[in-house]
Amino acid sequence: MKDLDWSNLSFGYMPTDYNVRCYYRNGKWGEIEVCSDEYIKLHMASTCLHYGQEAFEGLKAYRGKDGKVRVFRMDENAARLQSTCRGILMPEVPTELFEEMVKKVVRLNQEFIPTYESGATLYVRPLLIGTSAQVGVHPSTEYLFTIFVTPVGPYFKGGFSTNPYVIIRDYDRSAPLGTGIYKVGGNYAASLKANALAHEKGYACEFYLDAKEKKYMDECGAANFFGIKNNTYVTPKSTSILPSITNKSLMQLAEDLGMKVERRQIPEDELETFEEAGACGTAAVISPISYIDDLDTGKRYDFGAEPGKISKKLYDTLRAIQYGDEEDKHGWVSIVID
Ligand SMILES: Cc1ncc(COP(=O)(O)O)c(C=O)c1O
């Protein structure tokens, strides 16, 4: 294993030894190639560069106490990528190909998988891009699907803790019938200004309201939202948010804990009634929210400076499954290195 200060790694890019690539040409996917070059030779007229024919995914590999390396629900990442492909007219990457490439790239870079104790993980980043030259707005005929990995530090360096969030009304990340439900780069470009503004004002992240009515909670930065009250897990139903795999898993775990789960529109006002609130995604699992400010109305919705009990329980349970410390009742985990 590499001699790195795993616990102090940031969520940044660090080169590893290999990436894997697969090309789509003449209507079919080719063989998986192993590559040690970090660069891609690309035609300057590629559709990914001009027309945003680009999609990505994000998942992690976890080294367990038992030394085994697990990945979490990669079939769900494959399915979400396929949905994105249908959304922006790219050929779907078959689940078997996706899974084989994830396993291969993790195994090839096993020296970069952080230790169990560090709380750090190996982040896996699949990327699909349109590579044929076009000047008219048309889908590409050729594609590159590549996966690289990079070790990332633990999200909570000082332990599970809360952060303040802010509702920003001056920007929309995506439209109700737009690409918010797909994991395409354009959505993230659209979020950069609001995210910078939130950071400038001292918040962890920006919240978006639904773009049409500016009334309902959508999501925050690169995470879904949930609130907890009366033993119920409530999370937004919206056509402009990314279907989070962490959120889907938390809904199941909440149900397993005997809680009610509601997926529905959440009017901003309802925030007042939540006992706990959190942002959820692969990066943090759960990032508990201390308060949410609405800058335009001057309202503050307070959830407390300490993480709530249920959030903590859900966080601990999901992490324990990911690291192999708890029984994987739902079959979410694949052992990649035994
Ligand atoms: C916009 C957005 N929402 C939510 C999520 C959380 O999704 P997941 O739990 O699959 O990581 C992500 C991260 O992938 C995201 O980029």
pLDDT (tens digit per residue) in 34-77: 999 999 999 999 999 999 999 999 999 999 999 999 999 999 99
The three-class DSSP label of residue 84 is: helix
The answer to the question of residue 326 being in a domain is: no
Q: What is the pLDDT of residue 86?
A: 98
3-state secondary structure (DSSP) of residue 166: strand
The percentage of residues in the chain with a pLDDT greater than 70, rounded to a whole number, is 100
Instruction: Give percent helix, percent strand, percent coil of the chain, each to the nearest 5.
Output: 25, 30, 45
Distance 243 CA to ligand 1 centre (A): 7
Q: Is the Cα torsion angle 43, 53, 167, 276 positive or negative in sign?
A: negative
The minimum-distance atom of ligand 1 relative to the CA of 242 is 3
In the chain, the number of structural domains is 2
Is residue 200 included in any domain, yes or no? Answer: yes
Ligand 1 in reach of 246 Cβ (< 6 A): yes
Q: Is the CB of 219 under 6 A from ligand 1?
A: yes
* Burial (Cβ within 10 Å: 0-12, 13-18, ≥19) of residue 184: buried
Q: Would the pLDDT of 205 be above 90?
A: yes
Q: Do 105 and 80 share a domain, yes or no?
A: yes
Same domain, 188 and 297: yes
Distance set, CA 40 to CA 109, 146, 164 (Å):
19, 10, 39
**Same-domain check for residues 190 and 124:** no
Residue 327, domain member (yes or no): no
214-236: per-residue pLDDT in tens? Answer: 999 999 999 999 999 999 999 99
Q: Establish whether residue 82 lines the binding site of ligand 1, counting it when its CB lies within 6 angstroms of any ligand atom.
A: no
Report which residue type is found at 289: I
Q: Does any ligand 1 atom lie closer than 6 A to the CB of residue 139?
A: no
Do 146 and 205 belong to one domain? no
Contact 274, 165 (CB under 8 A): no
Residue 34's CATH number: 3.30.470.10
Do residues 189 and 294 both lie within one domain?
yes
Is residue 331 in a domain?
no
Question: Which CATH number goes with the domain that contains 245?
Answer: 3.20.10.10
Residue 110 inside a domain? The answer is yes
Q: How confident is the model at residue 159 (pLDDT cuts 50, 70, 90)?
A: confident
Domain that holds residue 274: 163-317
Q: Whose CA is nearest to atom 4 of ligand 1?
A: 223
Distance (Å, whole) CA 32 – CA 20: 7
For residue 174, report the distance from its CA to the centre of ligand 1, in Å. Answer: 14
Instruction: Identify whether residues 204 and 262 lie together within a single domain.
Output: yes
Taking the centre of ligand 1 as the mean of its atom positions, its distance from the CA of residue 337, in whole angstroms, is 25
The band of 6, judged by pLDDT with boundaries at 50, 70 and 90, is: very high
Confirm whether 22 is domain-assigned.
Answer: yes
